[in-house]
Amino acid sequence: MTRAEKTEAIAVLKEELGSTPFFYLTDSSTMPVSKINNFRRKCYEQGITVKVAKNSLIQKALEDAPESKGYSALFEVLKGPTTILFSENPKSPAVLLEEFRKTEERPLLKAAYIDSSVYIGDDNLKALTKLKSKEEMIGEILGLLQSPGKRLSSQITATGGKLAGIIKTLQEREGAAE
């Protein structure tokens, strides 16, 4: 790879890593080509972009980012083969990895970067599968906000029904007494 090609690859990686708030670094070494292709196909089906890059290029791309991003914590895992998984959903790569690993022992999770939080090691995979997406969080918040209103509405409806029943009973008693 020439210096110009490396510079171009770093620029592309820098753009991709900087434009997404979620990415996973995995190790898919020792996987046969057929299984890697199967994994890539499953990623494609779920909207996850897969990219393989040299660790030195990944590190250079991450080094150029602002300190506030916290990428420096990822440098320690940039050893051996590295596959990057990009996704719009922070949870979908973790769910896919967990599902795929029910039948395979790889790819292993090296690290995950989720909204400036860094998760290092394969033992974090279970925690990452439990993350909630933005849509799930908004849905929960809306449900919580609607809950008091729904309760109040049902109380008013129930109370109104009871009052109507009492008034009807009183009217029937009055009509029977005459």
What pLDDT band is residue 152 in, cutting at 50, 70 and 90?
A: low
- Determine the Cα–Cα distance for residues 29 and 81; give it in Å rounded to an integer: 6
Say which amino acid occupies 130: K
Rounded to 5 degrees, φ, ψ at 23 are -155, 155
Return the structure tokens found at 117: 């939080």
**Comparison of pLDDT for 9 and 136, the residue scoring more:** 9
Q: What is the per-residue pLDDT across 79-133, written as a single tens digit (0 to 9) for each?
A: 988 999 999 888 999 999 999 999 988 899 999 999 878 999 999 999 898 887 7
Asked if residue 18 lies in contact with residue 86, where contact means CB atoms within 8 angstroms, the answer is no
Asked if residue 22 lies in contact with residue 113, where contact means CB atoms within 8 angstroms, the answer is yes
pLDDT higher than 70, residue 68: no
Say which amino acid occupies 6: K
Q: Which of 122, 116, 75 is nearest to 94 (CA)?
A: 122
% of the chain residues with pLDDT over 90: 44
